[in-house]
Amino acid sequence: MRVVLGFGRGADDPMNRSCNRSEPPSRPITFRAAEDLGAFELAQLWVDRTAWPIDDRTQYDELAELAVMSALATLLTRWQPLAIHGAMLAGAKPEAVAGALGSSIDEAYRRWHEWASVQRDFICNGKPGITEGEYEAVARRFGAPT
Average pLDDT over residues 118-122: 92
* C-alpha distances in Å from residue 95, one per residue of 105, 110, 141, 142: 6, 14, 11, 9
Residue 128 pairs in a beta bridge with 123
Average pLDDT over residues 33-38: 92
Judged against a pLDDT cut of 60, whether residue 44 lies above it is answered with yes
* pLDDT, tens digit, 9 for 90 and up, residues 59-100: 999 999 999 999 999 999 999 999 999 999 999 999 999 999
CA dist 50 and 26 (Å) reads 11
Average pLDDT over residues 122-133: 91
Mean pLDDT of the chain, nearest integer: 85
For residue 133, what is the enclosing H or E element? helix 132-142
Residue type, 110: R
Judged against a pLDDT cut of 50, whether residue 21 lies above it is answered with no
Which residues, 6 or more positions from 71, have their beta carbon under 8 angstroms from its beta carbon? 28, 31, 34, 35, 37, 42
pLDDT of residue 128: 87
CA dist 92 and 79 (Å) reads 17
Q: If we measure between CA atoms, which residue out of 6, 48, 10 comes closest to residue 27?
A: 48
Average pLDDT over residues 95-120: 96
Q: Are 89 and 126 in contact (CB under 8 A)?
A: no
pLDDT band at 23 (very low <50, low <70, confident <90, very high): low
Question: Please, how many CA atoms are within 13 Å of residue 143, restricted to the half-sphere of its CB?
Answer: 6
CA dist 13 and 29 (Å) reads 9
Helix 105-121 with 94-101: angle, nearest 10 deg = 100
